[in-house]
């Protein structure tokens, strides 16, 4: 798996997925040195921070109907895009895409736990079981994620 981190160009169909705001910013910052030739960014719409290249999912907002809609939206985009790789920093809006990708489309999943937490996140706890590579930023997180890999200062 370390080869993926050393590559400068990713030539496989990839979904980058993160909640809008801090999670999206963190993912873009971590992956800034990589070039994706065939990638799609899935997020949810927030204020004026939307990019023309984003695909927007509905935010589940702890609302039953929005959660169901997010599930079907995630499955739809997985069918449409057919990615081989999914990279995520969380949070809740990303879960269905991450889990469904692994189960139904046999994607390779990389999850990067948020730098903001030094313990664990609920999304991270679930994604841990569906990840091929799980990255953490803080050494004390290894007690929550024993098979995780510690990043070098958050830079890939």
Quickly tell me which residue has 């960014």 as its tokens: 41
Residue 156 lies in a domain: no
- The H-or-E segment that residue 7 falls in is none
Residues 3-20: tens digit of each pLDDT: 345 557 888 999 999 988
How many domains in the chain? 1
Query: Does the residue 30 lie in any domain?
Result: yes
Domain span holding position 50: 2-150
Q: For residue 24, is it within any domain?
A: yes
3-state secondary structure of 46: coil
Residue 101, domain member (yes or no): yes
* Spans in the chain with pLDDT lower than 70: 1-7, 47-53, 153-156
Q: State pTM to two decimals.
A: 0.88
Q: What CATH number is associated with residue 129?
A: 3.40.50.2000
Percent of the chain beyond pLDDT 90? 51
> How distant, in Å, are the alpha carbons of 30, 32, 81, 111 from that of 153?
10, 14, 32, 16
Q: Which of 154, 40, 143 is nearest to 86 (CA)?
A: 40
- Within a domain: 155: no
């Amino acid at each position: 798996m370390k080869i993926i981190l050393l590559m400068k160009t990713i030539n496989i169909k990839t979904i980058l997925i993160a909640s809008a705001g801090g999670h999206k910013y963190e993912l873009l910052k971590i992956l800034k040195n990589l070039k994706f030739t065939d990638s799609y960014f899935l997020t949810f719409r927030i204020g004026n921070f939307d990019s023309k290249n984003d695909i927007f999912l509905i935010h589940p907002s702890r609302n039953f109907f929005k959660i169901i809609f997010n599930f079907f939206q995630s499955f739809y985009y997985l069918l449409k895009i057919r990615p081989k790789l999914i990279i995520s920093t969380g949070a809740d809006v990303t879960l269905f895409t991450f889990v469904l990708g692994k189960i139904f489309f046999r994607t390779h999943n990389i999850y990067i736990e948020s730098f903001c937490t030094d313990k664990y996140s609920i999304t991270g706890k679930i994604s841990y079981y569906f990840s091929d590579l799980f990255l953490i930023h803080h050494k004390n997180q290894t007690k929550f994620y024993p098979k995780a890999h510690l990043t070098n200062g958050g830079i890939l």
